Amino acid sequence: MKCAHTRIWLNALILLISLLVLSSWLISPHSVAAQDDWDNDGVSDFKENQLALKYTPYLHFAGGEKFFPTDVSYHIDNSRLFLKSDDSNILVDSSPTIATISLYKGGDYFLNNTLGGFEEIAEDYDQYRESFGYVVYARVTESMGYFVVQYWFFYAFNPGSLNQHQGDWEMIEIILDSAETPMYATYSQHFSGEKASWSDVEKVDDTHPRVYVALGSHASYFRSYQGKLGLENDVVGNAFTLGPDDFQVVLLGEKGAGNHPFAQDWLEYGGKWGNWAQLADIARGAAGPRGPGYGENEDKWVDPVSWGSDVFTVNQMWFRLGWITYHFLYIFSGIIAALATIKLWRIVKRKRQGKLNLMKILRSKAGVGVVLGVVGVALYLVGILLPWYVVRGNIQTVALETVGEVDLVLIDGVNGIRINTLQSDQGLAQLFGLGIPLGIILLSSVVLNILDLIGVEKPKSLSRTYLMSGITSLIPVIIIIVFITQLAGLITPFANAMGGGVTIPPQVDEMAREISSSPLMGDYSGTLDSYGNLYVSWSLGIGSYLFVAAAITKLVAGIITRRAVVAEKPKEKAEITKEEKTEKS
C-alpha cells in the first residue's frame, strides 16, 4: 500500500512538473500562439524566426581564408576598451563584457584586441575556431512597407588588400514585399554594395541565397567569378562552404532598452570593433569598423530599404562581363595562341615555297627600316617592364604621415595600378585587376610582331606592320593621360567608396585638379588647414617615354621601308621591260 501511495505521489509530481513546463512554454516570448513582438518592431517573433530560417544563406569562401563568421564574444573577451582623445588612448575597461560596453553608445571608443595583429589573431582564432563554432546574426524587421531580412557577419580580422584592421562587419539583406515575396537582395562590399533581383540570385532550394565571400576583405558577391570589376582586386571562390546546418543563427532584436535580450546588449555599443591606434588609422583604413546601426553601418540598420536601393545594380549582363573578366587570361591566351599558330603555319608554308625573304630584305634598301623596326620592338619590350606613371609625395600631417618622399601611385605593366595604403607593413596594393598582368597583353603584341618579321615575304607587308605597331604603341600612354585628366572627377567618388563618405579637404580637390590639368608632369605643395603640409609630384614614368620612343622608331621604320618599296618598283619595271625586249628579239 505504501508503495502504491508513493507511485501516486510520484505521478502527481511528474504531472505537476509537466504542467509547469507546458505553461512556461505557452507564455514564452517565442510563443507561436501568442504572436508576441518582444523587440517592438511590428513583426511578430514567430514571423521573424520563420523568415530568418527560410532565407539563411550558404557562405562560400575562397581557399586560404583564415577568418569565418564568429560570435562577437570572441573579440570582446580578447579586447580592452579604450577612448580616443586626440592622438592619445585612454584605457576605459581592461576586461570589457557585453554588459559593460553597452554603456558606451557614442564617442570615440574602440575595442583593441590584445592578441596583436593579423598573424597573432589568425593563429589564436584557428586554435579555438571549432570550439567557438560559426555564428550568423539574423535580423528581420519591417521598413517602408517591406519585410527586410538581414544577415550580419562578424569576422575577427580583415586582412584586405587595400586595408587591414581588427574586426569586420559585413551584411546581406533580402527585401520582401508585403505578401512576403522576395524582390531583390543586396550584398555589402567595401562601404557600399551590389543589388540583384531575386531571380538573378543563385539559390539553394529556391530560398537560401549563395554568398561568395572575398578572401580577407569578406566583401559579399553573387557569383564565384566576381571581384575583378571594381576598386579592389577581390578574390572569391568556392573552396569551403558553410551552410545553415553548419552555423548557429542568432535572431537579433532591435536597439534600445527592452528590445533585445541581455545577451545582445552589444547592439548598444557605438564604438569601433577593433584597434584605433592613431588618428591616421581612419584615413589608412586601419581602424576597426563600427557595428550594426552605427557609423558606416547606420543606414543599413536604420533605413535598410533605401540603402539597398541606392547601391549598384547588377544583372545577367554584368555577370557575363564578370565571367569574361575572371577568365580573361584563358580567353586572351587562346586568342593569342590561335593567332600565333596561324602565323607559324604561314612561316612553315612560305619556307617550303622558298618565300621567306627576311635576309634578302635586310640586304636591300629596306634593310635600314627593318633594323629600326627591331629597335622599336626592343624599346617597347623594355617599356612594358618599367613604370608607366608615378605619383610621389611627402605627407606630414596629423592624419597621414610618410617617411620622406614615397611612391603614392604607381602604374606599370606587371602589377597594373597600385596605391600606397600608407600602412608601413603593407606598402603598395593593387587597385584594379583583370586576373592577368597588363604587361602580358602588351608582350603578346611583341611576340606577334617578331613572327611577322620572321615570316615576311614582301617589304610592303612589313611596312604596314611597323606603321600599325607604331600607332598602337602609343595606346597605353594615351589611356593613362586620359585617365589622369579625369582624376579630378574621380577622386571624390573613390574616397567615398573607400572611406564611407568622408569629406575631402578642399586642398585635395585643388591638387587633383592640378594633376588633371597638367597630366604629363607637375608638382603641388600646400597646407591641409591646421593638419600639416604635403608635397606631391607626378609624371609619366620611363616606361611611357620608351613607348613614345618605340612608336616614333617604328613609324620611321615603316616610312623607310615603304619608300624602299617604292624605289624598287621602277627597277623592277625596267628589268621586266629588258626581259620583254630580249624575248621579242
Higher pLDDT, 169 or 8: 169
What is the Cα–Cα distance from 535 to 526, expressed in whole angstroms?
A: 7
Of 358, 382, 380, the C-alpha closest to 553 is 380
Query: Which amino acid is located at 544 in the chain?
Result: S
Higher pLDDT, 524 or 506: 524
Q: What is the pLDDT of residue 491?
A: 67
Q: pLDDT at residue 50 above 90?
A: yes
Of the listed ranges 60-74, 463-477, 561-575, the one predicted with least confidence:
561-575
Confidence of residue 580 (pLDDT cuts 50, 70, 90): low
Contact between 384 and 475 under an 8 Å Cβ cutoff? The reply is no
Residues paired with 213 in a beta bridge = 61, 220
What burial class does residue 94 get, using C-beta atoms within 10 Å of its C-beta: 0-12 exposed, 13-18 middle, 19+ buried?
exposed
What burial class does residue 145 get, using C-beta atoms within 10 Å of its C-beta: 0-12 exposed, 13-18 middle, 19+ buried?
exposed
**Mean pLDDT throughout 341-347?**
94
What is the Cα–Cα distance from 156 to 273, expressed in whole angstroms?
A: 9
pLDDT tens digits along 251-277: 999 999 899 999 999 999 999 999 988
Q: b/e map of 387-418 (b: 16 or more CB within 10 Å)?
A: bbbbbbbbbebbbbebeeeebbbbbbbebbbb
What is the Cα–Cα distance from 300 to 317, expressed in whole angstroms?
A: 27
Q: What is the mean pLDDT of the chain?
A: 84
CA 265, 267, 272, 275 dihedral sign is positive
Q: pLDDT at residue 6 above 60?
A: no
Of the listed ranges 169-173, 513-517, 574-578, the one predicted with least confidence:
574-578
Higher pLDDT, 156 or 426: 156
Residue with cell 547592439: 267
Residues paired with 158 in a beta bridge = 165
What burial class does residue 174 get, using C-beta atoms within 10 Å of its C-beta: 0-12 exposed, 13-18 middle, 19+ buried?
buried
**Mean pLDDT throughout 151-167?**
90
Q: To the nearest whole percent, how much of the chain has pLDDT over 90?
A: 52
**Cα angle for residues 476, 477, 478 (degrees, 5° grid):** 95
Q: pLDDT at residue 481 above 60?
A: yes
Residues across the chain: 585
What is the Cα–Cα distance from 68 to 457, expressed in whole angstroms?
A: 62
Q: pLDDT at residue 294 above 80?
A: yes
Q: What does the block give as the cell for 205?
A: 532550394
Q: What is the pLDDT of residue 28?
A: 36
Q: What is the pLDDT of residue 142?
A: 95
pLDDT tens digits along 381-398: 999 989 999 999 888 876
Q: What does the block give as the cell for 123?
A: 593563429
Q: pLDDT at residue 240 above 80?
A: yes
Which contiguous run of DSSP H or E holds residue 183? strand 182-189
Q: What is the pLDDT of residue 293?
A: 94
Higher pLDDT, 293 or 584: 293
Give Rg (Cα) of the chain.
Answer: 33
What is the Cα–Cα distance from 218 to 311, expressed in whole angstroms?
A: 18
Q: pLDDT at residue 11 above 90?
A: no
What is the Cα–Cα distance from 178 to 510, expressed in whole angstroms?
A: 49
HSE-up of residue 562 (Cα within 13 Å, Cβ side): 12
Confidence of residue 16 (pLDDT cuts 50, 70, 90): very low
N-to-C CA span, the chain:
151
**Mean pLDDT throughout 316-329?**
90
Could you tell me which residues come within 8 angstroms of residue 400 by beta carbon, excluding any fewer than 6 positions away?
280, 283, 284, 422
Could you tell me which residues come within 8 angstroms of residue 523 by beta carbon, excluding any fewer than 6 positions away?
535, 536, 537, 538
Q: What is the pLDDT of residue 534?
A: 83
Q: pLDDT at residue 406 above 90?
A: no
Provide, for the chain, the percentages of residues in helix, strand and coil under a 3-state DSSP scheme, each rounded to the nearest 5. 45, 25, 30
What is the Cα–Cα distance from 351 to 228, expressed in whole angstroms?
A: 44
What is the DSSP code (8-state) at residue 313?
A: E
What is the Cα–Cα distance from 242 to 59, expressed in whole angstroms?
A: 5
Q: What is the pLDDT of residue 462?
A: 85
Q: What is the pLDDT of residue 298?
A: 94
pLDDT tens digits along 510-553: 888 888 899 999 998 888 766 678 889 999 999 999 999 999 99
Phi–psi pair at 28, nearest 5 degrees = -65, 150
Q: pLDDT at residue 35 above 80?
A: no
Q: What is the pLDDT of residue 364?
A: 85
Q: pLDDT at residue 93 above 60?
A: yes
List helix spans (H) across 244-397: 280-284, 298-302, 304-310, 316-326, 328-353, 358-362, 367-385
CA 275, 277, 283, 286 dihedral sign is negative
The listed range with the strongest mean pLDDT (102-106, 158-162, 561-565, 568-572) is 102-106
Q: What does the block give as the cell for 246?
A: 553548419
What is the Cα–Cα distance from 410 to 402, expressed in whole angstroms?
A: 16
